[in-house]
Amino acid sequence: MIVFAKPSSGVPSRPSRSKTEQAAPLTATDSLAHIVIVGASLAGMQAAQMLRRGGYDRSLTIIGDEPHYPYDRPPLSKQYLAGSWDESKLRLRAAVDPDELGIDWRIGVPARALELSGSSVMMADGTSIPYDGLIIATGASARRLPGPDLEGVYVVRSLDDARALRDAFDAEPKRVAVIGAGFIGAEVAATARERGLEVTMIEAAKSPLGRVLDTAAGLAIADLHRSHGVDVRLGVGVHSLVSGEGAGAHTVAGVALADGTVVEADVVVVGIGVTPNTGWLEGSGLTIDDGVVCDETCLAAPGVVAAGDVARWPNVRFGEQLTRVEQWDNAVDQGAYVARRLLAEDEVAPFAPVPWFWSDQYDRKIQLAGMPTSSAEVVHGSMAEQRFVQIYGRPDRDELVGALAWNRPRQAVQARQLIEQRATMAEARETLGG
Amino acid sequence: MHERTVERPVKIVVDFDLCESNAVCMGIAPEVFEVRDDDFLYILDENPGPELHDRVREAVERCPKQAITLED
């Protein structure tokens, strides 16, 4: 593990909700005349907001590769794709008035390289932007299937992606095939069904959401989708995409599965995860390994911090292991944290949050706090009634480290606090059960 | 603690068309926000005192639906 500056203390003993109170006052030092944020999405925007709120009044630049002011991504697979929200509702609130925070916006041009020794960011248009402090928040990109690009194949990551898929849904396709039953795939499948489209969801693993949910909870997701009319195929991989005949040779016509069957579909949505956007950092001298590798205070190099989907750091709450969190709430939290980290110079406690995310599918609200483990038990409700709380214990000692809540938002919040307080499993049963 | 400005009174406004009862706000400021077993959010204190302003502001930012606003 790399460590540049040892934080002064260990794991924060107080819940993270009091972080704003315990944060050191931000002081804009003379050594930080210009802060550059690469990445104009949630984490970067939150960092900018926190810098300004903390009194940083020097020069602040935000670089973003997309030609849009910062917008919120979760609605892209839900309200926006459903057609119930228009684009004006997506803009992040802090960016509704782009002039409000005194930001020098450089959007629509990607950063191409980082010159660490010269402290500057090289832009794709040939210009370079020098910095005194750098926040890396370039996020991640949707993975695509290998092979030639075919018309009718979509991913959902950016506004432009979602716009294209929404147009495709508007054209009332005969069948939508969703490859991958992760959160994006499952949400797109739900939205497509709610729009009255025929949907087949294909997942190579034995159960949906296998990266975060155990098999039983994952199968409950499969049941939920089946009960809404989705043709769910589990445990079968994708062999290849099938294109049409003749004039349709560049257009998708279906998905060939590893078991030899073909799912005919005129729209295919690929939801097979993301890869962190670190290509521009190759050769920069930063450690890149499935993200920008940071110390426990999110520092990647002196004066350089990383936040959001691109950052990989050891969350000391759960051990030494490097983690990268692809979650909305983490982007907000970590964006704010790195702003403080950059300005405070030292005496900063490690970034050790309890992760939390939600997913809305049909009328279900699924929330996961902390880390799922194989030591799982349902303590409230039941999977059959699709209203339940499942808790996860740490394998090596009696401690609550995670909880899954279905349509139980109150318990999700309580669970998150219990995890922060390092409650025992018995305490968790007592509070969340019943 | 670092005082930024003289605290003015605030009024909490929730857009209930946006609110999806994720209960994040309740986790941050339970004195002000409560999601009950009916899954609806209730505002316990529309005009919270200055001692709660920092946490209320955090709740505004951490709301995944951006459904909470503060009015002066």
Mean pLDDT over all residues of chain A? 91
**Lowest model confidence (mean pLDDT) among A59-73, A126-140, A169-183, A347-361:** A347-361
Residue B39: domain span? 11-71
| ipTM of the modeled complex | 0.79
Q: Closest CB to A74: pick one of B2, B61, B64.
A: B64
CA distance B9 to chain A (A): 18
The answer as to whether B31 is a domain residue is yes
Question: CA A314 to CA A316: how far, in whole Å?
Answer: 6
Q: How many domains does chain B have?
A: 1
pLDDT of residue B9: 79
> Under an 8 A CB cutoff, do A410 and B28 touch?
no
Residue A183 main-chain phi, psi, to 5 deg: -65, -40
pLDDT of residue A27: 53
Question: CA A136 to CA A139: how far, in whole Å?
Answer: 9
The answer as to whether B46 is a domain residue is yes
Strands annotated E in A20-89: 34-38, 59-64
pLDDT of residue A346: 63
The answer as to whether B3 is a domain residue is no
The answer as to whether B45 is a domain residue is yes
pLDDT category, A294, cuts 50, 70, 90? Answer: very high
User: Does residue A283 contact residue A113 with C-beta atoms inside 8 Å?
Assistant: yes
The answer as to whether B5 is a domain residue is no
Instruction: Say if residue A9's pLDDT is above 50.
Output: no
Question: Domains, chain A, ranges and CATH?
Answer: 16-141+274-344 (3.50.50.60), 144-270 (3.50.50.60), 363-432 (3.30.390.30)
Q: Using N-to-C axis directions, what is the helix angle for A183-194 and A215-227, rounded to 10°?
A: 20
Q: Closest CB to B54: pick one of A20, A25, A49.
A: A20
Q: Closest CB to B64: pick one of A25, A55, A329.
A: A329
**Lowest model confidence (mean pLDDT) among A12-21, A104-113, A156-165, A318-327:** A12-21
Instruction: Say if residue A28's pLDDT is above 60.
Output: no
Distances (CA, A) of A129 to A109, A125, A326, A420: 12, 11, 28, 40
Question: Residue B47 sits in a domain of what CATH number?
Answer: 3.30.70.20
The answer as to whether B2 is a domain residue is no
What percent of chain A has a predicted confidence (pLDDT) above 90? 80
On whether any CB of chain B is under 8 Å from the CB of A12, the answer is: no
**Torsion angle defined by CA atoms of residues A60, A61, A66 and A67, in that order, rounded to the nearest 10 degrees:** 90
User: Does residue A374 contact residue A214 with C-beta atoms inside 8 Å?
Assistant: yes
Give the helix/strand (H/E) hosting A120. strand A120-123
> Under an 8 A CB cutoff, do B27 and A17 touch?
yes
pLDDT in tens, A112-139: 999 999 999 999 999 999 999 999 999 9
- Partners of B24 on chain A (C-beta within 8 Å) are 329, 356, 413
pTM: 0.90
Instruction: Say if residue A23's pLDDT is above 50.
Output: no
The residue assigned the tokens 């006052």 is: A25
Question: CA A334 to CA A355: how far, in whole Å?
Answer: 11
Residue A298 main-chain phi, psi, to 5 deg: 70, 20
The CA-to-CA distance between both ends of chain A, in Å, stands at: 43
Q: Are strands A304-306 and A133-136 parallel, antiparallel or unpaired?
A: parallel
pLDDT in tens, A340-351: 999 986 678 999
The answer as to whether B55 is a domain residue is yes
- Residues linked to residue A140 through DSSP beta bridges, in sequence order: A276
CA distance B37 to chain A (A): 7
User: Does residue A236 contact residue A258 with C-beta atoms inside 8 Å?
Assistant: yes
pLDDT of residue A29: 57
The answer as to whether B4 is a domain residue is no
Instruction: Say if residue A382's pLDDT is above 90.
Output: yes
Alpha helices in B1-72 (DSSP H): 24-28, 53-62
Mean pLDDT over all residues of chain B? 86
